[in-house]
Amino acid sequence: MTPGGKALAEFVAEATEILDALGRDLLALDEARGQEADPEHINGIFRAAHSLKGLSGLFGQERISHLAHAAEDLLDRLRLGRLTLDDGVLDTLVDALDTFQALLGEASRSEEGQELTQRTRAMEDRMARLGSPPPAVEEDPLERLELDATVRAVFTEYEEHRLRENVRRGVALWRVRAAFDLTDFDQGLADLNARLKPLGEVISTLPSSRPGGANGIAFDLIFGAKVGARALEDGLRGTPAELAPLSVRQPGEGSTGPAFDVPPAPSHEEADAEALLADTDEVEPDEDSEPSVTSTSLATVPVVPGGSPPRMRAVSPPPTVVGLQAAASAPIPAGRPKAEETSLRSLTQTVRVDIGRLDGLINMVGELLLIKANLQRLAETSRQDGTVALSKLFGQELSRETRQLERKLEALQEGLLEARMVPVGQVFDKLARLVRKIAREAGKEIDFVSSGGEVELDKLIVEELSDPLMHLIRNAIDHGAEGPEARLGAGKPRRAVVRLRAEQKGNHVVISVSDDGSGIDEVRVREVALARGLVTPSQVSEMTRRELLNLIFLPGFSTRSSVSSLSGRGVGLDVVKNNLGNLSGIIDVWSERGKGTAFHLTLPVTLAIVRALVVGVSGRTYAVPLNSVLEILSVQPRDIRTVERREVLDLRGQTLPFLRLGRLFHLPEREVNRHFVVVVGLAQQRLGIAVDELFGQQDIVTKPLGGRLSRVKGISGATDLGNRRTVLVLDVAELLEEGIAQERRRA
């Protein structure tokens, strides 16, 4: 199979999905560090590695396939209990995920870098070297379980291991048999599984052809219960399930039932999987346990040789808190290749769309076709009566259909936009994984709290957001949060809190990254900005604290005298700010000494289609995205005042910076007796933009400008207004900045 472009895209899409699933399970294990691992998560990761191996083998992706093979081996040992999940193993898995992501990144670009190949080999070695000696060999606990050998024959190695583990730990084992109708058995089984899950572990699900009949199917579930018989009965009340205990001998007792390696006596003709229960009459009841019962009635009590250890399932209600341990206990392994910061941006262009949404869109197309038919009919009529003057009735009908068409098109547009929306939580999950790693490297103890993951944004924005957010979180941990000792000294709790929050506010989404650390030292900010020549002494002398703080976004600014290996990767906050600018978003900073720092990112919900105000300046036409327009004023030239060589307006007692668009773009200015002022704002910033004419509103799709034009300040792109008229779209965020820059340049 030669991986062509389409095949490659398909490979990358599926591999991304697999890695996402792997990451979720890994995060769950990570959150439960120190507690007993949930076998389901380990098995989930194993399955992911297994699928990845098969997938990449199929597509000739050798490097991924080899690494997946090594990972699968490691996970298989883990899954089968031959290896314990300690910090070292968990760290290796987290790093392996990084490597997979880097490999997939190169694969998507059809590259094969030497450096990454070496890193992959090192990772494979590291995984192979991991391992604790297998536990001392004792009697196989499975030998104590009375279970027909033919049943055991259909267990996969993993299922067998889970069964063994349950026997070893003295968990009460049951056979849960339930018959369903063939048409909806999967629903019935899902319901049954949902009931069983909180009560223990479903080890295997075995379909049986008996006694289903033509339209039925029965299943035997092998179940390890962590609750008593009574609770299990109660939990299954109302379901078609029948319970039967599986008896287990006490360790050390002589074998009484048929051993597994002995083939089953061919006494029954039907010695098959249905005969799940060995003949329990052969089992001698234990002295200190309930007598085992052969009946399948619900009142039976299983043989419980010991209490099963209580297993708490970590429930993670929003907001999610990820506990992180200090690096002190687990230093970064020496010689570990410094994992280059892999971008969290996903590699696929795919958006999963709820089928309901698509159905809605299809329906709308159906309605549009209906309108088209009506219009066609009207056109036909007018053609036939071509010479006759069109009746008033005809005109009314035509305009009614046009209105219908407009409404439906609007709904279709809205529906399509909705289909592009994805929950911002997709990025939050990836960031949560990263936080632990960064905290470790930095030697900080961090609680990471995220909320608002359900807020939806355009897929494009969510993708572009991941890198700026990663940078801000890195900053918060590296520079914001203090070490545990320093925090205790300052009378704060030992562990620092880093928060990530998304909130919808009208047409915008505000995402904030905050910490409860030491805050930004504005005195130091001023010193650095002066030392680097970014501002003049006279400028800073007039600056408010807020303005001083905003200096950190200037290119070439870094508060640390030495570039730290952690966040000083040559990328500063100016890059973060630029990234956000490209998304028509802006960034704000709040900080208080000793209390913490917060960055607020304000973003539009979508970039695809926006409503715009069409304005005229000196005979040219521009479009202003309406989502940043707050109001429109009509002002006389005498309302414009000059304060410190800057033009401003009084707006209900507040001073509003005033910008003449014509002047900014060096257009010939016209004498006018009044200006229209479009008041724009993002977050807390406001600006009045003077224009000559207002033409109305229109939906626009902004296309980027190519080449040198893309650097023109104040312009984000071009759009087609219909009638083949192309106009430039104003970049409000940049204009706001221009307003502030003017403020800074004064004096």
Partner 1 sequence: MKFKVLIVEDSKVSREHIAATVEAVDGVEAVTTASGFEALKLLPRQRFDLIITDINMPDINGLELINFVKKNPNYRDVPLIIVTTEGREQDRSRGMALGAAGYLVKPFQPEDLEALLRRFLKPL
- Binding positions for partner 1, rule: CB under 8 A: 1, 10-11, 14, 47, 50-51, 53-55, 57-59, 69, 72-73, 153-157, 159, 182-183, 185-186, 189, 204-209, 214, 217, 272-274
Output 50 or 433, the one with its CB closest to partner 1: 50
CA 442 vs. chain centroid, Å, equals 24
CB-CB neighbours of 196 under 10 Å: 22
* Cβ-Cβ contacts under 8 Å for 313 (sequence gap 6 or more): 38, 198
Cα–Cα dist 337/340, whole Å: 9
Q: Measured from the CB of residue 206, what is the shortest distance to partner 1 in angstroms? A: 6
Amino acid identity for residue 278 in this structure? A
298 SS3 class: coil
For residue 316, which amino acid is it? S
Distances (CA, A) of 100 to 23, 75, 351, 650: 11, 15, 22, 58
Question: Which residues are CB-neighbours of 740 under 8 A, at least 6 positions away?
Answer: 550, 657, 685
By C-beta, is 103 or 601 nearer to partner 1?
103
Query: Could you tell me the smallest distance in angstroms from the CB atom of residue 73 to partner 1?
Result: 7
d(CA 164, CA 79): 12
Smaller CB distance to partner 1: residue 64 or 446?
64
Closer to partner 1 by CB, 40 or 547: give it: 40
Question: Could you tell me the two tokens for 47?
Answer: 């399955």
Candidates 586, 521, 530; CA nearest to 560 is 521
Q: Which is nearer to partner 1, 42 or 476 (CB)?
A: 42
Task: Quote the CA–CA distance of 710 and 704 in Å, as a whole number.
Answer: 7
Indicate the pairing of strand 496-505 with strand 172-181. Answer: unpaired
Least spacing, CB of residue 86 vs partner 1, in Å: 24
Minimum distance from residue 280 beta carbon to partner 1 (Å) = 23
Residue 534 burial (CB < 10 Å; 0-12/13-18/19+)? middle
**Residue 168 main-chain phi, psi, to 5 deg:** -60, -40
Distances (CA, A) of 372 to 375, 377, 391, 393: 5, 9, 21, 19
Closest distance of CB 157 from partner 1, Å: 5
Min CB(136)–partner 1 separation in Å: 22
Select 183 or 396, whichever has its Cβ closest to partner 1: 183
For the bound state, the minimum distance from the C-beta of residue 222 to partner 1, rounded and expressed in Å, comes to 11
Q: Which residues, 6 or more positions from 645, have their beta carbon under 8 angstroms from its beta carbon?
A: 746
Q: How far is the CB of 183 from partner 1 (least distance, A)?
A: 8
Cα 511 from Cα 506, distance rounded (Å): 13
Nearest to partner 1 of 68, 496 (CB atom):
68
CB of 159 to partner 1, least distance (A): 7
Task: Report the b/e string of 487-526 with b at 16+ CB within 10 A.
Answer: beeeebeebbbbbbbbeeeeebbbbbbbbbbbbbebeebb
205/404 with CB nearer partner 1:
205
Q: Which is nearer to partner 1, 46 or 553 (CB)?
A: 46
Distances (CA, A) of 148 to 5, 170, 518: 51, 19, 65
3-state helix, strand, coil in the chain (%, to 5): 45, 20, 35
Q: Give how far Cα 481 sits from Cα of 305, 534, 562, 594, 643, Å.
A: 50, 27, 18, 10, 41
Token pair for 8: 């490659």
Question: Looking at beta carbons only, is 214 or 393 nearer to partner 1?
Answer: 214
Least separation, in Å, of the C-beta of 204 and partner 1?
8
Q: Smallest distance, Å, CB 203 to partner 1?
A: 12
For the bound state, the minimum distance from the C-beta of residue 97 to partner 1, rounded and expressed in Å, comes to 19
Name which of 43 and 702 has its Cβ closer to partner 1: 43
CA distance 679 to 491: 46
Please report how close the Cβ of residue 78 comes to partner 1 at its closest, in angstroms: 15
Cβ 235 to partner 1, closest distance in Å?
21
- Which C-beta is closer to partner 1: that of 187 or that of 634? 187
Q: Which is nearer to partner 1, 278 or 587 (CB)?
A: 278
3-class secondary structure, 231: helix
Q: How far apart are CB 31 and partner 1 at their closest, in Å?
A: 23
Measured from the CB atom, is 79 or 474 closer to partner 1?
79
Q: Output 57 or 616, the one with its CB closest to partner 1.
A: 57
Place of tokens 């010689």: 335
- Cβ nearer to partner 1, comparing 171 with 203: 203
Burial of 331: CB neighbours in 10 Å, binned 0-12, 13-18, 19+: exposed
Quote the CA–CA distance of 724 and 273 in Å, as a whole number. 74
- Tell the smallest beta-carbon distance from residue 120 to partner 1 (Å): 19
Q: How many other C-beta atoms can be found within 10 angstroms of the C-beta atom of residue 171?
A: 25
Say how many CA atoms lie within 13 Å of 567 toward its Cβ: 27
Give the SS3 label for residue 62: helix
Residue number, 57 or 360, with CB nearest to partner 1: 57
* Shortest distance, position 156 Cβ to partner 1, whole Å: 5
Residue 116 and residue 342 in contact, taking contact as beta carbons nearer than 8 Å: no
Which helix (H) or strand (E) segment is 178 a member of? strand 172-181
